[in-house]
């Protein structure tokens, strides 16, 4: 009997806490999906084929595609670019777009099946923000298709139930603050420069001599890219099942991955670099929460589509040592309401994170506000130029 009562009590507690914490705002940061390389290896003979997933409507009609007679597609001329095939460097591939579509589908269960968002795209609820780079805009598009369960070619489908232009809000690259950008914050560039003269960095560099010598042997040249650039290109190959360069072993791959981790980990724990790199990204997150709490916005879902150099500093700000985030890596900033009080829950790769300074994964908003305000450098632009 007692056991049964205990069970009821527990059930009550359980349903209480679960039923009462209502999601009111979901903010998502992602790294783009798998892409072609940015750095060419010596004698690079890998072939890359890309579907171009960015069909564009003629730009005269800003509201609807319903009566458009045609759309345009960019096609890269075969074998005439930097790589063999028809991709440009750093282009989102089909694999990359599928990674974002499946993330969108996963979020559909969390955000649409629960009734949190309207079943079809509602511009009053959904806000998309992206860096102005093809692969991040395309990643945002792919996630959108997964979220609203739309076919990949919905744009050209006659029976499609969506015929709206979906805005993707962006900034000019020179002042984009959603990634590590020395243009937007010169202090970041300065820190990235001086960290290379830090004793620890120099010692680490010295320890790489052997790996560098092996890479020179594999590529049969002394003129090799930086090890983390090689690592990045190898990551692209592995993601697409493209074979490793001749002579490269799994052990080399492991060493390159470790080097990539080290570079990210050193950079984003160096002085306050992460806070300067993504301080304004965090400010945007906080601002959106404040608008929501004060009933000043109808937005419920905000997607910031960006880079590894976005996701990493944003998590390092909160003490999570991510190394280089994987393709389609994701961060959730969730705002919940319970009995008139607000709570923030942070997740990285679907793992709840206890924000340093909070007792629980559900951090009271007031506490989160104080923590975030201390982490955002202020006054930001002055600090970025005053060194």
- Binding residues for ligand NAG, how many (CB under 6 A)? 11
Candidate ranges 10-18, 49-57, 142-150, 232-240; the one touching ligand NAG (CB under 6 A)? 49-57
Dist. CA 1–CA 67, nearest whole Å: 68
Query: Which residue number, 249 or 378, has a Cβ lying nearer to ligand NAG?
Result: 378
Q: Among the candidate windows 93-101, 103-111, 266-274, 330-338, which touches ligand NAG by CB under 6 A? A: 266-274
State the binding string over 56-85 for ligand NAG (x if CB under 6 A, else -).
-------------------x----------
**86 binding ligand NAG? (CB under 6 A):** yes
Tokens of 306: 């960006």
Q: Which is nearer to ligand NAG, 205 or 360 (CB)?
A: 205
CA distances from 346 to 39, 260, 355 (A): 33, 25, 7
CB of 86 to ligand NAG, least distance (A): 4
Binding piece for ligand NAG, criterion CB under 6 A, among 136-144, 146-154, 267-275, 289-297: 267-275
Q: Which of 24, 40, 44, 52 binds ligand NAG (CB under 6 A)?
A: 52
Please enumerate, as own/partner, the contacts of 15-23 that have beta carbons within 8 Å and a separation of 24 or more: 17/338, 20/338, 20/339, 21/336, 21/337, 21/338, 21/343, 21/362, 22/336, 22/337, 22/338, 23/114, 23/116, 23/334, 23/335, 23/336
Q: Kindly tell me which of 52 and 163 has the beta carbon lying closer to ligand NAG.
A: 52
Q: What share of the chain is helix, strand, coil (3-state, %, to 5)?
A: 45, 15, 40
Nearer to ligand NAG (CB atom), residue 9 or residue 78: 78
**Residue 321 makes contact with ligand NAG by CB under 6 A:** yes
- Pick the closer one to ligand NAG by CB: 119 or 271: 271
Q: How far is the CB of 24 from ligand NAG (least distance, A)?
A: 30
C-alpha to C-alpha distances, 280 to 87, 304, 380, nearest whole angstrom: 33, 12, 8
- Sign of the four-CA dihedral 339, 341, 347, 352: negative
Is residue 272 within the footprint of ligand NAG (CB under 6 A)?
yes
Among 102, 192, 265, 326, binds ligand NAG (CB under 6 A): 265
Please list, residue by residue across 46-74, b when 16 or more beta carbons sit within 10 angstroms of its beta carbon and e when fewer do: bebebebbbeeeeeeeeeebeeeeeeeee
**Chain contacts with ligand NAG (rule: CB under 6 A):** 49-52, 75, 86, 265, 269, 271-272, 321
């Amino acid at each position: 009997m007692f056991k049964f009562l205990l069970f009821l009590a527990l059930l009550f507690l359980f349903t209480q806490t679960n039923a009462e914490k209502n999601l009111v705002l979901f903010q998502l940061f992602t790294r783009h999906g798998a892409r072609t390389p940015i750095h060419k290896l010596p004698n690079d003979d890998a072939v890359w084929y890309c579907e171009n997933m960015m069909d564009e409507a003629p730009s005269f009609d800003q509201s609807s595609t319903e009566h458009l007679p045609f759309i345009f597609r960019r096609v890269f001329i075969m074998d005439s670019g930097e790589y063999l095939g028809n991709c440009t460097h750093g282009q989102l591939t089909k694999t990359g777009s599928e990674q974002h579509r499946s993330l969108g589908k996963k979020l559909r269960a969390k955000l649409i099946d629960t009734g949190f968002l309207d079943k079809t795209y509602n511009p009053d609820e959904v806000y998309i923000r992206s860096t102005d780079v093809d692969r991040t805009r395309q990643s945002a598009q792919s996630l959108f298709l997964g979220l609203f369960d739309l076919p990949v070619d919905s744009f050209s489908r006659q029976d499609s139930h969506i015929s709206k232009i979906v805005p993707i809000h962006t900034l000019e690259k020179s002042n984009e603050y959603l990634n590590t950008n020395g243009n937007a914050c010169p202090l970041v560039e300065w820190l990235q420069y001086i960290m290379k003269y830090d004793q620890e960095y120099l010692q680490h560099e010295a320890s790489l001599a052997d790996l560098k010598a092996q890479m020179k042997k594999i590529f049969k040249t002394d003129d090799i890219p930086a090890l983390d650039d090689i690592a990045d290109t190898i990551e692209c190959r592995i993601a697409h099942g493209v074979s490793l360069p001749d002579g490269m072993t799994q052990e080399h791959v492991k060493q390159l991955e470790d080097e990539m981790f080290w570079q990210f980990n050193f950079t984003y724990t160096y002085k306050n670099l992460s806070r300067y790199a993504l301080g304004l990204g965090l400010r945007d997150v906080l601002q959106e929460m404040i608008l929501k709490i004060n009933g000043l916005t109808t937005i419920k879902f905000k997607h910031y589509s960006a880079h590894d150099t976005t996701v990493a500093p944003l998590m390092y700000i909160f003490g999570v040592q991510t190394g280089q985030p994987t393709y389609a890596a994701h961060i959730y900033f969730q705002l919940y309401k319970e009995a008139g009080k607000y709570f923030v829950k942070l997740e990285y790769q679907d793992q709840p994170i206890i924000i340093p300074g909070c007792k629980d994964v559900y951090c009271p908003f007031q506490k989160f506000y104080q923590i975030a305000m201390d982490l955002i450098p202020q006054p930001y632009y002055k600090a970025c130029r005053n060194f």
